[in-house]
A and B are shown apart, each in its own frame.
Chain A
Amino acid sequence: EDQVTQSPEALRLQEGESSSLNCSYTVSGLRGLFWYRQDPGKGPEFLFTLYSAGEEKEKERLKATLTKKESFLHITAPKPEDSATYLCAVAGDTGFQKLVFGTGTRLLVSP
């Protein structure tokens, strides 16, 4: 059974304090790993797709990396507006339509 575990569950940072979020996964036949951002009361918002080990994607202060067992979301010099829950999901042999999500990391960035 495909599984995604995210850590830590919650993270508090000071503005400008860089850190990383972890997504460990077990999946049969990885087709893609996805990162989403979710604000309270909103639906998830797409950030990145990674397809193979060694791949990296960047967007503003965020950089996602992928190995054969885990993905990291690196946040460089975060700002309060980066506060959100970050979700990781994988697509395996069952197809892209059946994403398996982790429970997320709640990030709070204080000014």
Chain B
Amino acid sequence: GAGVSQSPSNKVTEKGKDVELRCDPISGHTALYWYRQSLGQGLEFLIYFQGNSAPDKSGLPSDRFSAERTGGSVSTLTIQRTQQEDSAVYLCASSRRGGNSPLHFGNGTRLTVT
């Protein structure tokens, strides 16, 4: 079946511009996660959505970052006024029911801020 789909796969933007990254989770999965993978660093948790519950935003690095999940499915991660340190691979994952359910990751969006 179809896996987690992310778009675009690559994004180059100028410092100060806003960007939107999209994630289509696996159908039927109630939990959705955003992680960030920077060069030489481990994956870093950003935000978690589970069903209709309030999202866990505790990993967002600054108020320039925001995310929403519409209709319990597609999610968009928005970065406003991008900075060079935002350059990284942004990975989306979904899981069947949250908790200890295995995460299924997409292939990520590679963001480069020039």
Contact = CB atoms under 8 A, between A and B. Distances in A.
Contacts of A89: 42-43
Contacts of A101: 35, 42-44
A49 B42 contact: no
Interface string A58-96: 000000000000000000000000000001010100011
A43 B100 contact: no
Contacts of B26: none
Interface residues of B, number: 27
Chain B interface mostly: loop
Given A43-B4, A49-B100, A97 B56 contact: yes
A102 B37 CA distance: 11
Interface residues of A, number: 24
Interface string B83-106: 000000001010000111011111
Contacts, number: 59
A4 B41 CA distance: 11
B43 A96 contact: no
B44 to A, nearest CB: 8
A43 B50 CA distance: 21
B40 interface: yes
Interface of A: 4, 31-32, 34, 41-46, 49, 87, 89, 91, 95-104
24 contacts: A4-B42, A43-B4, A43-B91, A43-B106, A44-B105, A46-B103, A49-B102, A87-B42, A87-B43, A89-B42, A89-B43, A96-B98, A96-B99, A97-B33, A98-B45, A98-B58, A99-B43, A99-B103, A100-B42, A101-B35, A101-B43, A103-B40, A103-B41, A104-B42
